[in-house]
A and B are shown apart, each in its own frame.
Chain A
Amino acid sequence: MSIWLIPAVILIVLVTATIKRVPAYEVFVEGSKEGIQIAVSLLPFLLGMMVSIAIFQASGAMDAVLSLVKPLTSLFAVPEQILPLALIRPISGTAALSVTTELIRTFGPDSIIGQLASVMQGSTDTTLYIITVYFGAVGIRRMGDALKVGLLADLVGIIASIIIVIILFG
């Protein structure tokens, strides 16, 4: 289905524009110029955040933090292997994807841990990345409560996916 989706959107937009006598190509070029500006203004924010996360990860500090928190999970009867994913998901999308892949490979996609990793990966998003990109590109310097709201929503999403997976597959 997704193979048809993007061409269909393009088709609908172009046909509607032609019917309404919009000079499609000229408007396209006019609108797309903005894309270059946005991309260029994005680079400093993205590069800065990515380098900081990479230092933290490559030094081994991230693994150290994760192993510190591991014993906590036994308190809640949640598979401890899932915890690193829950912690990394809001911070780094690529790191989270590699953790998910590793969990699915090690425990099997149809194991409870594999299912849990799949649902967690699919139902949350990388809050830090989204905030960096969206606020960075338009020059929002004071982000108000955005990070707090985003991280709290992540926490709810993670807890929800654990409960749902245990009910459905446990």
Chain B
Amino acid sequence: MVNLIWVFLAVSGICYAAFNGTMDKVNEAIFLTIEESVMITLSLAGVLVFWLGLMKIAEEAGLLSGLAKLFKPIVKRIFPDIPENDPALGYILSNMTANMFGLGNAATPMGLKAMKEMKRLSGSDKASRSMITFLAINTSSLTLIPTTVIAIRMKYGSVDPTSIVAATIFATTISTIAALIIDRYFYYLRKKAGRAL
């Protein structure tokens, strides 16, 4: 599916530009974006190197398994195919905690590491059940304090920049619960069709 989306975006963009005389803008955008993506990867590399280093210490010191043990009852239900006390659970939890506090920078390395651990468990290049669940939780956004939005609201002179926090938490909770339900439904369909991993 992502193959189709990818090709569609580029092909329809180029065709549209051909008919509307915006090819110069397309050219410019291609080269700017190539640079931008390298810059993003580089700055992400710094964040990854730092947080994965720190998290390795946390893992060896037993902090990640402690975190996993603390939330075991909940997480076991959400990720039933990950064995108890597996390091994957620790990384999943650190990712979720970092997301909740709006530490997007620290959340991504933990999420990537969680994915790596889940791939170790499944040993396949196909997305496993827990990977899909993990992505569903992440895409529905767990952010409790939307710092970027609050900053923009302050910049444009809001009387109460944080007025949206309660509504955001409410909406996030609903979309996360919905994501879990939708994920379960698709798993049920896969299982019925005998394609469950």
Point out residues on A near B: beta carbons under 8 Å. Answer: 2, 5-6, 9-10, 12-14, 16-17, 20, 22, 24, 27-36, 38-40, 42-43, 46-61, 64, 90, 97, 100-101, 104-105, 108-110, 114-115, 118-128, 130-135, 137-150, 152-154, 156-157, 160-161, 164-165, 168-169
Contacts and interface: CB of A to CB of B under 8 A. Distances in A.
Nearest to A37: B48
Contacts, number: 350
A154 B137 CA distance: 11
Interface string B1-30: 110011101101110110010110110111
A158 to B, nearest CB: 8
Interface size class of B (residues with CB under 8 A): 35 or more
Interface string B113-141: 10110010000011100011011101111
From A60, A128, A144, name the one whose CB has the most chain B CB atoms within 10 angstroms: A144
Contact of B112 (A58, A115, A137): A137
Given A22-B61, A28-B54, A133-B112, 10 more contacts: A6-B106, A13-B63, A16-B62, A17-B60, A40-B45, A51-B34, A58-B17, A109-B158, A134-B115, A157-B174
Contacts of A165: 167
Given A59-B13, A134-B112, A104 B183 contact: no
